[in-house]
Chains A and B, each alone.
Chain A
Amino acid sequence: MTGERGRALVRVEGLTKTFGPTAALAGVDLTIHAGEVVAVVGHNGSGKSTLVKVLAGLHSLDAGQVVAGATELRFIHQDLGLVGSLSTVENLALGIGGRPWRRLRKADERREARELVRRFGVEVDVDAPIEGLSPAERTIVAIARALRGWDDRREVVLVLDEPTASLHGAEVDQLMAVVRRVADHGAGVLFISHRLDEVLDVADTIVALRNGRVVGDLPRDDADYKLLVELVAGQAVEDLERGSGDRGEPVLEVRDLAGGGIRQLGVTVHAGEVVGLAGILGSGRDEVCAAVFGGSVRTAGVITVGGREISDIRDSIRSGVAFVPGDRHRHGAVMSMTAVENLVSVLVPGTASLWRRVRRGQEMREATEWFKACGVLPARPQMELTQFSGGNQQKVVLAKWLRTKPKVLLLEEPTQGVDIGARAAIHGLVMEAAREGAAVLVASSETKELAQLCDRVLVLAGGVVVDELSGADLTESQILHASVPAQAVTEPSAPTRGSHLYDVMPS
């Protein structure tokens, strides 16, 4: 697979980028040769996306340089940048120069589009709207568009930022074949991913990042799955002080839950217990909390809190259930309102009349206390929530629910897009809630987080619980291994190539 290396097209030397006190990139070196696929792997916050942004010119550098010469860098960002309602032909023709009022040469455009797409070994209906294509086909169209006008005279490096985040099984293979083909035609490919298995399939060189540093730069043949996990996760996984593990009474009982991607799920969470939900993307992991809370439709199942059955959102809140959604912008908070308004926005039905007068002074005092307790900065509760950083927004969302003194705390990706300091603070708050007797259910794509926080972890696959880990078995790598769908293990594949899906980072 690793043919002779072509010329070096792009050299990255000593790249350093700091945001405030944290270094997102610290002296990163890497080289991309013609015909080579270089994969960059790493955890959330390892500096992968900063690297792409620096290469794209969206961030300025603090030190180091990108030596590109005449090579053109072409980017496929995660959102692909295609217009869903337009056809492949039209998408490929977008942005091509020429006078706006010139007549469209539709037949030519169609022919060119078909050739371009076929060059990558796929057949798509070039006249169908993009939104009707599969995610993999869409990505391939995006690649075709990025490589438009690429010929032998030009040197091109294609940068793919997490192209497989929303793809599954066969789709990944289809895309990988295209990536391989692009490299075989002489382009350099920089492939950013968090899925170690696919990286092992496609890459010639693998660069592992951790905390902004290159912790491994090795040819594909020297790498295996286990080594990569160690490189990416780091040897020393520090242990957070866990809760005492003393179980109280069962508080939350979920029986035969179904709906959305959940086929059948049952779980009992005791007072003071933190139960984790692990699983790859699409395993149903992300849907459990919302379904339990009543925020999404349940097709079956009985949820009881303290022996009382709950039916909808207001019922849940009344029974002392709190839900911190994974997407705080869309579901967690009203960004255009102030932090204090968000903090006091949960009114437990039945305990407080909506027509009650707002007492601003009292609210501010309360908000001040919460801001102190949660370490929200800047400590100005009267500021609009948009003006806070992601980590501080998340703390406000968590505080808004902790304020209701929940008996059950449902958390979805509680530290997504949050810096390390805020992450520790949020973990501390969750632990404290558990110590005070809350039953905590936390769904996370970060196995590290689950291993640190939870007393036991349920592993989901295909909408059902496939494994339960607790005690000594509850480690990051155990969760990873258990998350792999059974069929992937039995799939015929070279033994050295880890076929485990490593889907611990959110897209």
Chain B
Amino acid sequence: MSVASSVKIEQDDSVWRSARRFLSFRNISAIYIWIAMVILFSVLAPETFPTVDTIRIVLTDQAVTAVLAVGLVVPLAAGAFDLSIGSQLGLGAILVAWFLRNQELGVVPAIVASLAIGACVGLANGLLITKARISSFITTLGMSSVLLAVISWISKDAQILNLGSAFQQVANRQILSIPLSVYIMIVLAVCVWWVLDNTYMGRAVYATGGNADAARLAGIRTHAVVVMSLVSCSVLAAVAGILLSSSLATGDPTVGPAYMLPAFAAAFLGSTQFRNGRFNVLGTVVAVYVLATGVKGLQLIGAPVWIPELFNGVALLIAVAVTRRQGSSKRSRTPAPKRVAVGTAA
């Protein structure tokens, strides 16, 4: 073809340039903000902030949020919201406690049963969205309320205590003085990252989120993708709930909803990192810990108790605003309207 000869493919992927692109503020702003915060709080609270204990506490505290946020990345990438993740976490937390204490199941059966029920919730969400054609927003908002009712019903609004030391070990067992929950989080994050970033399954998920019609016409089973994304999110939310009950040694019926906002903040903040506006696992995990570092630092310098809520809320809003701006600046705009020359009347 004649057109072909004149085309030269730009080889701009030299190591230096890709490294520069990777390290640009735009790409990894959260990392720079993280470093700045660490320096700031180390100066302001030199006794308490830059310590091994702080690192361990932040790492451990946030494992549950990180698992939840990583799970949330999947439906968001597929173009579906899941507003029921907080309640699903709560359901997982209370169910495992209920199975252990009230049904006297062993640790493994209790966990498996909780996960299975979590998966069913995700399946219900997915089918409502794809078959009943209710928007994911409404579906999961409704589901969230239903799950809170279920939690209240099975727990009779009371904590379930004494879950046994074997179950506590699930989250708390120390390996190299870091609890197991952190390792579980890392393994799950790597699994989700692998699927989303390195398989054609992941491509199908992003394509469905980007343009479901085009994805369908390219042979992707978009309904199956949406259902599967919600199921995996629900399973991870159940895992987060189980880890939470295990680390608290208590099934608490009120814990769930508070986790939703940090997870959304992290997922949206994470989408501004590394992958140019795309929801991604690495960015999300980093974002969880950046937010947690900020909150922890503020607490250590004596900020009031309402600071975490404020911090997470503001972070979510800023993250979404930044994503929007990245999106709009990429599109080429039509030239600004300009009046035509108007001469004298004919």
Contact = CB atoms under 8 A, between A and B. Distances in A.
A330 interface: yes
B4 interface: yes
Contacts of B16: none
Contacts of B3: 374-375, 421, 424-425, 428
Interface in A59-82: 59-61, 65-71
Interface in A289-307: 293, 295
A318 to B, nearest CB: 8
Interface stretch (B108-116, B148-156, B216-224): B216-224
Interface stretch (A21-29, A161-169, A195-203, A351-359): A351-359
B10 interface: yes
B203 interface: yes
Given A378-B10, A384-B330, A337 B210 contact: yes
A447 B200 CA distance: 40
B131 interface: no
Interface string B309-346: 00000000000000000000011101101111111111
A425 B1 contact: yes
Contacts of B47: none
A336 B210 contact: yes
A373 to B, nearest CB: 6
Given A330-B214, A346-B219, A368-B9, A8 B346 contact: yes
A375 B221 contact: no
B211 interface: yes
A308 interface: no
Contacts of B338: 57, 60
B330 A347 contact: no
A329 to B, nearest CB: 8
A346 B331 CA distance: 25
Interface residues of B, number: 49
Which of B210, B337, B342, B346 has the most chain A CB atoms closer than 10 A to its own CB? B346
Given A313-B219, A325-B217, A345 B346 contact: no
A66 B210 contact: no
A317 B219 CA distance: 7
Contacts of B268: none
B133 interface: no
Contact of A387 (B202, B219, B330, B341): B330
B346 A11 contact: yes
Given A69-B342, A69-B345, A357-B198, A295 B210 contact: no
Contacts of A61: 340-341
A335 interface: yes
Contact of B217 (A58, A331, A378): A331
From B9, B195, B206, name the one whose CB has the most chain A CB atoms within 10 angstroms: B9
Given A7-B346, A387-B332, A57 B337 contact: yes
Contacts of A345: 203, 207, 215, 218, 220
A90 to B, nearest CB: 26
Contacts of B341: 61, 65-66
